[in-house]
Amino acid sequence: MKYPVIVEQKNGVYRAFIPALADLSAEGRSRDEAVRKVQLAAEAFLSKVSITTIELNIPAQELRSGSPQAVLRAAGKFKGDEEAMQQHLEEIYTERKQQREEAARDANPPSSE
């Protein structure tokens, strides 16, 4: 999944936040550090929650590319391929887990004492 990240600098500190995840932000001494930290925070958060959908009774609107409604409509095109999609999602989760573990190792290298 791709999420837009907004990065701002104030008083020499960079702050990155993901608008789609309202309460999630991170700070760093550089832009890259702030973005890396917010990515790790988002991955940690999203790995602990479940995502569901609800039906809202509102008039139909034109779908813009990338909107939640457009994504859900596209997901419906996989009916009958649930097993293949599940396998694909498991591969993605495994890859993301490995990436998080690597990032954690890079952020906390073993001490040489």
Instruction: Inform me whether the pLDDT recorded for 99 exceeds 60.
Output: yes
State the pLDDT at residue 91.
82
Q: What is the DSSP letter of 113?
A: -
Domain regions of the chain by residue span: 1-51, 53-113
Q: Are 14 and 31 in contact (CB under 8 A)?
A: yes
State the pLDDT at residue 64.
66
Q: Calculate the alpha carbon distances from 36 to 33, 71, 91 in Å.
A: 5, 26, 22
Q: What percent of the chain has a predicted confidence (pLDDT) above 90?
A: 35
Question: What rounded mean pLDDT belongs to the chain?
Answer: 82
Q: Quick check: pTM over 0.75? A: no
State the pLDDT at residue 94.
83
Instruction: Inform me whether the pLDDT recorded for 75 exceeds 70.
Output: no
Q: Residue 99, Cα to own-chain centre: how many angstroms?
A: 13
pLDDT band at 89 (very low <50, low <70, confident <90, very high): confident
